[in-house]
Amino acid sequence: MHLLPALKFVWASSARWTLLRALLVLVQGTLPLLLLYVLKLVIDRISLALTGPDPSADLESVLLLLGLFGLLNLVNHLAMVTSDLVNTAQAQQVTDYMQNLLLEKSVAADLEYYENSDYYDKLQRAQQEAAYRPSQILNRLVQLSQGGILLVGVTVLLVSLHWVLAVLIILGALPAFLVRLKFANVLYRWQRRRTALERQSVYLGLMLTTDIYAKEVRLFNLGPWLRRRYRDIRRKIYRETLAIVSRRSLATFGTEIVSTALTVSVFAFIAYYTLSGRLKIGDLVLYQQALQRGEGALSNVLRALSGLYEDNLFLTHLKEFLTLEPKIVEPACPLPCPSPFQTGITLSGVTFQYANTERTALQNINLSLPVGQTIALVGENGSGKTTLIKLLCRLYDPTLGQICIDGIDIRQFSTADLRRRISVIFQDYVKYPFTAQENIWLGNIDLDPEDPKILEAAKQSQADSVIQALPLQYQTNLGKLFEAGEELSVGQWQKIALARAFVRDADLIVLDEPTSAMDPKAEYEVFQQFRTLTQGQTAILISHRMSTVRMADRIYVMDQGQIIESGTHEELMNRNGQYAILFNAQAKNYH
Ligand SMILES: Nc1ncnc2c1ncn2[C@@H]1O[C@H](COP(=O)(O)OP(=O)(O)OP(=O)(O)O)[C@@H](O)[C@H]1O
């Protein structure tokens, strides 16, 4: 059962609104019965007066009762209006609370999950359910209790007339209940199957509407083709949904035939009792009304029950996501990550395979990075350079082997502590749609956003001159996503990203092709700065530009996940192996 945890979410998100709702349930459950009773009193009083000598003498008491009836009606309406307000407020709070919970879980999830379509399916389903299911469960419970209270009263009334009446009413409502249960299962299975399709259509929609695709979509004229694909998926979803819902409507109509027949029989029974003088006219009205409301209440109760069954089923989706376990396990008793590093970083026998793949991305890597030195990783696309960095930051754990800092396995540190010591700019760094200042500051949010180190980092990465030319300098919003944003060139963005890496107060700095889009002059200047900056700092450089690579203290050449050569630039050139070939090939291009 997932209902209880869902109710806990409701309680945690809005305890006061929940209490208020409980009170309203009580009021709204009892008032209709009370109203009925007062109505019966009015009618009885009138019919009694009509048989008496002076009917008008009873007017005052009838009016008094009618006044009471009106008052109770008003209270009923007040409760209805208030519950509208309470429902809206509570639903909003629960939705926001659940969304926050999902976001928290998403951030905590391992990177590996983000490379897995199953994860996205789960996230999508959880998001769908989280938005409304918990408050819906509460609604159903409200419905159940309100209907329940009313139903008990009505059943007592009907049984007092004849027990068969109560049985007939229940029999009438049962088929609809069973049909709902069955279709809850059918819809649940359909929704699971449909998630991947839904995600595909959302993605196609994004391709048609967001900036990163806009250029290619236009140049290759992909619009009509993408739209067709989008339409085909939506049609498929539409057709299957329609087929299921049609079957459900048909089945529901079948159940209505049964329940109508039974209701008419009960009416006939009451009419017969009245005509044969066993019921007064007030009783007739009372029973007729009770019957009508009782039927409504019963169908509400059964709808709530089948709904709860459905909610329980669909909450599996939420639970599936919320119980995802991270594979990057935090140590029970973490050791403090050394700062500054004393000896440096070593990788011994590191082998790694991405989940759901056959190939090993890294194979028996042995490498050492002494403190204060810069090493460079070179190699063809896909040779495993970025993967090695990801392992170093513990975005993944090695399949085999060990990565140590000062001789301690990095799995002994808390991931937050370890990552605080490392500053990385990946090739696919993020272009935050925030101000220039914030774009740099995000590299070290422990700093004050106005800290002079931000300016310093910007100067080191050459971002300062880019920013000074912007309309509001450091306060200019970057990117065109929001109002008054300034778009930058790829190389300019790279300078900003580099400043973000520099502003971080880290022991290891990793630059994964940081200057690939910069012009040669800018690159030269950045590396001059970088040399000064990394004096005494441990650094890893990944670059396809051999002119950049040669300044490293030691160079590792990677090929298909293995290190095939290593040494200083001179050593590797003398060796005349792969490195020398790469270097000479590029050098030739420059002459
Ligand atoms: N998330 C992933 N899931 C599965 N395989 C991956 C993933 N990321 C990379 N790979 C594979 O791992 C291998 C190494 O990739 P990696 O990104 O480390 O290469 P690289 O040397 O950094 O390449 P480049 O020079 O193009 O940046 C490649 O064969 C790639 O296909």
CB atoms within 10 A of CB 16: 11
Instruction: Provide the token pair at 371.
Output: 């403190």
CA of 362 to the centre of ligand 1 (A): 10
The pLDDT value recorded for residue 533 is 64
The pLDDT value recorded for residue 315 is 82
Sequence-distant (≥ 6) Cβ neighbours of residue 275 within 8 angstroms:
none
pLDDT bracket for residue 151 (50, 70, 90): confident
Residue 534 near ligand 1, beta carbon < 6 Å: no
CA distance 568 to 402: 25
Residue 479 near ligand 1, beta carbon < 6 Å: no
Q: For residue 390, give the ligand 1 atom closest to its CA.
A: 18
Sequence-distant (≥ 6) Cβ neighbours of residue 502 within 8 angstroms:
423, 443, 456, 457, 460, 461, 509, 533
The pLDDT value recorded for residue 299 is 82
CA of 379 to the centre of ligand 1 (A): 12
The residue nearest atom 25 of ligand 1, judged by CA position, is 381
Residue 358 near ligand 1, beta carbon < 6 Å: no
340: preceding bond cis by omega (within 30 degrees): yes
Chain centroid, CA 123 distance in Å: 6
Per-residue pLDDT reduced to its tens digit, 184-231: 899 889 988 898 899 999 999 999 998 888 888 998 899 999 999 999
Please state which of the ranges 34-43, 194-203, 451-460 shows the lowest mean pLDDT.
34-43
Q: Is the Cα dihedral 187, 193, 196, 198 positive or negative?
A: negative
CA distance 479 to 486: 5
Q: For residue 380, give the ligand 1 atom closest to its CA.
A: 25
Does position 405 have pLDDT exceeding 90, yes or no?
yes
Residue 398 near ligand 1, beta carbon < 6 Å: no
Chain centroid, CA 358 distance in Å: 30
CA of 391 to the centre of ligand 1 (A): 12
Highest mean pLDDT among 84-98, 115-129, 295-309, 434-448: 434-448
ipTM: 0.96
CA of 41 to the centre of ligand 1 (A): 82
CA of 589 to the centre of ligand 1 (A): 27
Residue 19 phi/psi, 5-degree rounding, is: -65, -45
Q: Is 500 helix (H, G, I), strand (E, B) or coil?
A: helix
CA distance 185 to 310: 7
Give the mean pLDDT of 98-105.
Answer: 88
Residue to mutate, 381, 388, 428, 540, ligand 1, most ligand atoms under 8 Å from C-beta: 381
The pLDDT value recorded for residue 244 is 94
CA distance 588 to 214: 37
Contact 442, 519 (CB under 8 A): no
Residue 390 near ligand 1, beta carbon < 6 Å: no
Q: What is the mean pLDDT of the chain?
A: 87
CA of 565 to the centre of ligand 1 (A): 20
Give the mean pLDDT of 101-127.
Answer: 84
CA of 575 to the centre of ligand 1 (A): 28
Residue 382 near ligand 1, beta carbon < 6 Å: yes
The pLDDT value recorded for residue 534 is 64
Give the mean pLDDT of 79-93.
Answer: 88
Does position 94 have pLDDT exceeding 80, yes or no?
yes
The residue nearest atom 28 of ligand 1, judged by CA position, is 382
CA distance 355 to 503: 34
CA of 361 to the centre of ligand 1 (A): 7
CB atoms within 10 A of CB 282: 18
Residue to mutate, 117, 354, 393, 559, ligand 1, most ligand atoms under 8 Å from C-beta: 354
CA separation (Å) from 286 to 266, 269, 290, 292, 498? 14, 14, 6, 10, 80
Q: For residue 544, give the ligand 1 atom closest to its CA.
A: 25
Give the mean pLDDT of 142-147.
Answer: 82
Residue 37 near ligand 1, beta carbon < 6 Å: no
CA of 386 to the centre of ligand 1 (A): 7
Does position 57 have pLDDT exceeding 90, yes or no?
no
First and final C-alpha spacing in the chain: 73
CA separation (Å) from 385 to 392, 430, 451, 526, 567? 11, 19, 33, 22, 17
Q: Is 451 helix (H, G, I), strand (E, B) or coil?
A: coil
Residue to mutate, 115, 383, 429, 559, ligand 1, most ligand atoms under 8 Å from C-beta: 383
Does position 517 have pLDDT exceeding 70, yes or no?
no
Strands 408-409, 362-370: pairing is unpaired
The pLDDT value recorded for residue 306 is 87
pLDDT bracket for residue 362 (50, 70, 90): very high
The pLDDT value recorded for residue 236 is 94
Give the mean pLDDT of 453-464.
Answer: 91
Give the mean pLDDT of 388-411.
Answer: 94
Residue 276 near ligand 1, beta carbon < 6 Å: no
Per-residue pLDDT reduced to its tens digit, 256-298: 898 889 888 888 888 888 889 888 877 888 788 877 878 888 8
pLDDT bracket for residue 474 (50, 70, 90): very high
Q: Is 447 helix (H, G, I), strand (E, B) or coil?
A: coil
Residue 116 near ligand 1, beta carbon < 6 Å: no
Q: Which residue has the higher pLDDT, 517 or 542?
A: 542
Per-residue pLDDT reduced to its tens digit, 499-514: 999 898 889 999 888 7
Residue 381 near ligand 1, beta carbon < 6 Å: yes
pLDDT bracket for residue 516 (50, 70, 90): low
Does position 528 have pLDDT exceeding 70, yes or no?
no
Q: Which residue has the higher pLDDT, 257 or 53?
A: 257
Give the mean pLDDT of 479-484.
Answer: 77
3-state secondary structure 102-126: HHHHHHHCCHHHHHCHHHHHHHHHH
Q: What percent of the chain has pLDDT over 70?
A: 96
Chain centroid, CA 232 distance in Å: 26
Q: What percent of the chain has pLDDT over 90?
A: 36
CA of 172 to the centre of ligand 1 (A): 64
CA distance 541 to 389: 10
Does position 550 have pLDDT exceeding 90, yes or no?
no
The residue nearest atom 2 of ligand 1, judged by CA position, is 354
Residue 361 near ligand 1, beta carbon < 6 Å: yes
CA of 427 to the centre of ligand 1 (A): 12
The residue nearest atom 17 of ligand 1, judged by CA position, is 386
The letter for the amino acid at 100 is N
CA distance 231 to 209: 15
Residue 386 near ligand 1, beta carbon < 6 Å: yes
The residue nearest atom 1 of ligand 1, judged by CA position, is 115
The residue nearest atom 7 of ligand 1, judged by CA position, is 354
